[in-house]
C-alpha cells in the first residue's frame, strides 16, 4: 500500500464530526436502577399498586386476582422485584405484573 491511499488531507472531517461522540461521559441516574411498573411509571417505597394478571403465589393456597390493590410496597435492590404484604404474609412480586394505582 502506498501513502497515496491514506492521504487524509483532502478529506472533510468537519462534515462527519457528529458520527462519534468524543465526550465519553457516563451519567448514572437513579432512574435507571429504579423499579418501574408495566407502564413504565417509577415505583418507590410506600406506593399503592394494582395487580394486572391473576398470580398464583408459591407456598400459598391464595391467588392474587386481577385488580387486587396492594398498599405500601417496598423496593428492594433488584429493579424487577418489589416486596409487599398480602394479608399477613410478605411476598415478592415482579414489577411487570403491577401497575401504579
Report the predicted TM-score, pTM, of the whole model to 2 decimal places.
0.66
Please tell me the predicted confidence (pLDDT) of residue 75: 94
Please tell me the predicted confidence (pLDDT) of residue 30: 54
Q: What are the φ and ψ backbone dihedral angles of 20, each rounded to 5 degrees?
A: -125, 140
Rounded distance between C-alpha atoms, residue 5 and residue 11, angstroms: 12
pLDDT in tens, the chain (101 residues): 555 566 667 767 777 666 655 555 555 555 567 899 999 999 999 999 999 999 998 888 889 999 999 999 999 989 999 999 998 889 999 999 999 98
Integer angstrom CA distances of residue 79 from 17, 51, 70, 85: 37, 17, 18, 18
- Domain boundaries along the sequence of the chain: 3-100
Supply the DSSP string of 72-88, one letter for each residue.
Answer: S-EE-SSTTEEEEEETT
CATH architecture of 3-100: Roll (2.30)
Amino acid at each position: 500500500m502506498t501513502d497515496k491511499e491514506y492521504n487524509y488531507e483532502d478529506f472533510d472531517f468537519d462534515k462527519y464530526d457528529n458520527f462519534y461522540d468524543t465526550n465519553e461521559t457516563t451519567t448514572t441516574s437513579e432512574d435507571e436502577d429504579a423499579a418501574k411498573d408495566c407502564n413504565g411509571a417509577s415505583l418507590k417505597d410506600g406506593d399503592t399498586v394494582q395487580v394486572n394478571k391473576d398470580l398464583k403465589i408459591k407456598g400459598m393456597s391464595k391467588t392474587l386476582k386481577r385488580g387486587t390493590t396492594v398498599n405500601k410496597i417496598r423496593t428492594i435492590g433488584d429493579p424487577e422485584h418489589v416486596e409487599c404484604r398480602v394479608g399477613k404474609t410478605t411476598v415478592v412480586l415482579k414489577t411487570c405484573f403491577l401497575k401504579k394505582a
